[in-house]
Amino acid sequence: MSNTLRTLTEEQKRLFDTEGYVIVKGLFSQEDLAVIESTFEVMSEQTIPGYFEPDLSPSGVEDPLKRYPRVMHPHRFNEAAMKYMLHKPVMDILEDLFGEGVLAAQSMFYYKPPGSRGQALHQDNFYLQVEPGNCIAAWTAVDAADEENGGLLIVPRTNEHEIACPDLADANESFTTHYVKPPKDRKAIPAIMDKGDVLFFNGNLIHGSYRNKSKDRFRRAFICHYANESATHISGGYKPLYRADGTIAEREDSTGGGPCGMEFEVAYPH
């Protein structure tokens, strides 16, 4: 059921508002998913300075993420990535969640081959610094994602948890350096997803991912971040922002360094 107006049920809205996330099916057709797969399969053999810089030498296989790092901001140089960042069924859901217009800020593609480290628990709006308002992620499973192949971990009901200054992550398990400890009364749970499912989650929600422990299963994902149209500021590295019709929306750079203050060096992009 793609390319048709799709809004959330009251139960789905309640789940997002209370738990901080919701999984929605049927937003991408099989044809859509095939285009995304083929686009990034071709891209995986290329080097795109500043966006995708794989180690294509034999030594790159020692660390799977050197051979298959994440692609940052593919919408800035690839038409298919731009198209699916602004995919109407996804934008309709986001408008429903925000209760207003939507601005697209970031796209990413994760290959996450077997053996890859995960990503330590973190909060997205620590990086995007959307003000006033928040960001929402739309995390599309290009492969089925579960505990074995490095699926997402989410900490329900931390959407109301303030943005925290992170601690240092365990480099043996996480390819990123930041770690946000969940509150004592909250536990991380797996977000089990089928191919084509889209997980929407609040920018304050604490989340991360498992190591890919499988022998032969990639865990590919197309991930985009969005801001509410009424936001006036966002971290400068996420500009330009795009409206649903593809036009650019001008916004001011966020200042102040977030919860860590000006001395903290934010590892953009997240």
Q: For the segment 70-114, what is each residue's pLDDT rounded down to a tens digit?
A: 999 999 999 999 999 999 999 999 999 999 999 999 999 999 999
Quick one: pLDDT at residue 259? 87
Task: Read off the amino acid at residue 157.
Answer: R
The gap from C-alpha 81 to its chain's centroid, in whole angstroms, comes to 14
Asked whether residue 220 carries a pLDDT value surpassing 90, the answer given is yes
Smallest Cα–Cα separation from 125: which of 108, 97, 106? 106
CA-wise closest residue to 241 among 260, 226, 256: 226
Q: What is the pLDDT of residue 61?
A: 66
At residue 208, does pLDDT exceed 50? yes
pLDDT at res. 58? 75
Q: Is the pLDDT at 268 greater than 90, yes or no?
A: no
Average pLDDT on 185-213 reads 97
What is the rounded CA–CA span in Å between residue 91 and residue 98?
Answer: 10
Nearest of 248, 251, 37, 12 to residue 141 by alpha carbon: 37
pLDDT for 11? 96
Rounded to whole angstroms, the Cα distance separating 44 from 42 reads: 5
Q: How far apart are CA 240 and CA 114, in angstroms?
A: 34
Spatial separation of the C-alpha atoms in residues 41 and 2, rounded to whole Å: 23
Mean pLDDT of the region 119-129: 97
Q: Are 155 and 99 in contact (CB under 8 A)?
A: no
- Partners of residue 189 on adjacent β-strands: 154
pLDDT at 2 over 70: no
Where exactly are the structural domains of the chain? 12-260
Grouping H, G, I as helix, E, B as strand and the rest as coil, residue 229 is: coil
Whether this prediction's pTM lies above 0.75 is answered by yes
pLDDT > 90? residue 270: no
**Residue 266 — pLDDT band, cuts 50, 70, 90?**
low
Instruction: Give 160's pLDDT tier (boundaries 50, 70, 90).
Output: very high
Task: Say yes or no to pLDDT of 239 above 60.
Answer: yes
Which range in 51-65, 137-151, 256-270 is most confidently predicted, on average pLDDT?
137-151
* Mean pLDDT of all residues in 166-194: 96
Which amino acid is residue 45, in one-letter code? Answer: E
Q: How confident is the model at residue 258 (pLDDT cuts 50, 70, 90)?
A: confident
Residue 60 is predicted with a pLDDT of: 54
Mean pLDDT on 157-173: 96
Burial label, 195 (beta-carbon count in 10 A; 0-12, 13-18, 19+)? middle
What percent of the chain is predicted at pLDDT more than 70? 93
Task: Categorize the per-residue pLDDT at 4 as very low, low, confident or very high, splitting at 50, 70 and 90.
Answer: very low
The superfamily (CATH) of domain 12-260 is q2cbj1_9rhob like domain (2.60.120.620)
